[in-house]
Amino acid sequence: MKVHGQCHCGDIRFEAEVDPANARICHCTDCQTMSGSAFRTGISAPAETLRMISGTPVRYIKTADSGIQRAHMFCGRCGSPVFSSAIDENPTRYQLRIGMLKERHELVPKAQIWTKSEQHWLGEIADFPATETQ
Ligand SMILES: [Zn+2]
Ligand SMILES: [Zn+2]
């Protein structure tokens, strides 16, 4: 399916093709730090389907404990995470951040990785007091 990405300020806009079956959650501590949240949701898109409509994301090269490096792209103005890829000049896939896709409600995660660093309270949130708005 086609997805449309836009950062919070609107400088970065793109579209891509994804297979909804690839939507997943990552609980790794890097995703927690870089998303500022408990976990990150992402979906991979073949590089040839990615079309930038506006803006040029800022690139940050992250080195994992394993030594593997990945390029993380974000908006230089509003800081929204946009996508990540291998550091090659011509990566084959991009890992899109589901939270900035217009179709986010249709992209239900089908798997989760790095559960060893999952926040221990996640399984309990259905029981938390909840209000529909602030
Ligand atoms: Zn922005
Ligand atoms: Zn992660």
Give the model's pLDDT for residue 132.
Answer: 94
Of the bound ligands, which one is closest to the alpha carbon of residue 54? 1
- With respect to residue 127, please indicate whether it lies within any of the assigned structural domains: no
CATH number for position 41: 2.170.150.70
Structure tokens, 28? 């790794």
Structure tokens, 129? 């007091």
Task: Give the integer Cα–Cα distance in Å for 101 and 42.
Answer: 10
What percent of the chain has pLDDT above 70?
100
Provide the residue range defining the domain that includes 12: 2-118
pLDDT class of 72 with cuts at 50, 70, 90:
very high
Of the bound ligands, which one is closest to the alpha carbon of residue 76? 1
Phi then psi for 97, rounded to 5 degrees? Answer: -90, 115
- With respect to residue 129, please indicate whether it lies within any of the assigned structural domains: no
For residues 56-82, give the mean pLDDT. 95
- With respect to residue 48, please indicate whether it lies within any of the assigned structural domains: yes
- 31 CA → ligand 2 middle, Å: 4
pLDDT class of 66 with cuts at 50, 70, 90:
confident
Of the bound ligands, which one is closest to the alpha carbon of residue 72? 2
Task: Give the integer Cα–Cα distance in Å for 93 and 78.
Answer: 24
Q: What is the pLDDT of residues 5-31, one digit of tens each?
A: 999 999 999 999 999 999 999 999 999
The helix/strand/coil state of 19 is coil
- With respect to residue 102, please indicate whether it lies within any of the assigned structural domains: yes
- 60 CA → ligand 1 middle, Å: 15
Helix (H) or strand (E) holding 52, with range, is: strand 51-54
Counted domains in the chain = 1
Q: What average pLDDT does the structure give for the chain?
A: 96
- With respect to residue 128, please indicate whether it lies within any of the assigned structural domains: no
Of the bound ligands, which one is closest to the alpha carbon of residue 13? 1
| Residue 101 DSSP class | B
Give the model's pLDDT for residue 89.
Answer: 86
- 96 CA → ligand 1 middle, Å: 15
Rg over CA atoms, the chain: 15
Is the pTM higher than 0.85? The answer reads yes
- With respect to residue 133, please indicate whether it lies within any of the assigned structural domains: no
